[in-house]
Amino acid sequence: MDCIFCDIIEKKSKAEVLFENKSVISFLDIRPVNYGHALVIPKNHYIDFLSIPLIELNNIIEVTQKISYAINKSINPDGLNVITNNGQAAGQSVFHFHFHIIPRFYKDSFTFKPVLKNYERDSITEFAEIIRSEIKLERV
Ligand SMILES: [Zn+2]
């Protein structure tokens, strides 16, 4: 299987590593939106957010917050995006799960301006119903 992130984990490809423990590694994106743009990935290969086991996700989210604090303190951006893209349509280009931590500035080149829709009549309830019907967890 060809995976650039697995190559980085196995030290077959170089990366500017920020942090590493037994299950997670974080390194700088070589094509950053802004300088300091970091990635956080599991050392085990999972395709995306939907397929990663919860225990692995817990490890990653902890490191993602740690790296976010460090970027915030060291680079002092105006804000941060913490995002994960799932599927090609959502902009995923490496199919090994990863969080992006992107330092943001009021005047940077990254635009994220969705054209917002309005729900027709009661269709918001219909959308909620079909989603709720797939939620297997107890409601709180
Ligand atoms: Zn991989």
Domain CATH for 14 = 3.30.428.10
**Which residue numbers are catalytic?**
98
Cα(58)–Cα(64) distance, integer angstroms:
10
114 located within any domain: no
- Enclosing domain of residue 75: 4-108
pTM as predicted:
0.90
CA of 81 relative to ligand 1 center, distance in Å:
23
19 located within any domain: yes
Q: Which residues of the chain have pLDDT under 70?
A: 137-140
pLDDT of residue 1: 73
Q: Report how many domains make up the chain.
A: 1
64 located within any domain: yes
pLDDT of residue 140: 46
26 located within any domain: yes
130 located within any domain: no
CA of 56 relative to ligand 1 center, distance in Å:
14
C-alpha distances (whole Å) from 23 to each of 26, 33, 41, 48, 49 are 11, 26, 9, 16, 16
115 located within any domain: no
125 located within any domain: no
